[in-house]
Amino acid sequence: MRLGLLSDTHLPEAGRDLPPEVYDALRGCDAILHGGDITIGRLLDSLEEIAPVYAAMGNHDEHLFADPRVEPVHWLSFEGHTVALLHRFEPLEWDLERLCARFFEGERPDVVVFGDSHFESIEQREDVLLINVGSATLPRNLSPRLGHVGYLTLEAGRPPVAELVDLSAGANDGFMRTGAEQRGE
């Protein structure tokens, strides 16, 4: 199963719509996970034309509280893996046990997908894969431009594999990977 990941799209601040490169990058995904700061509900409708959408409620999304696709924290299960989707998961300097206690009442997912900072990262911490998707439209809190999307590949009985793609880098130039693929499995 291949999940498309994005976060912090901030429409219309970052533009009237997502750049076509973002939609193109998500085509073919089995589901799309948005890490919050959607700001405009019609974006979820557009993404849902590609695949089912799950979205975290960001600090700019309170008006989307009635949308069933938007939750403060989604606990999802795909291919035997638990995925927690939320907007803010910090401070990352804290140990994993303390973070899970703060955000998940002590439960530990296999994967955490989040955003908020606009800075992309992938980190394997203990037995949990942490993916900050960054921003698809305002990377690193800069002026509107192409940013990052991600992919999470899940297969039953195999470790999760995450990729982040810098869409501004062009085809195949902007990949960051972790998980089984990075370990050579």
Residue 163 in this model has a pLDDT that exceeds 80? yes
> Tens digit of pLDDT for each residue in 27-75?
999 999 999 999 999 999 999 999 999 999 999 999 999 999 999 999 9
Contacts of 132 (CB under 8 A, 6+ apart): 7, 35, 89, 114, 115, 116, 117, 119, 120, 121, 122
Walk me through the domains of the chain, giving residue ranges and CATH numbers: 2-179 (3.60.21.10)
The pLDDT value recorded for residue 170 is: 64
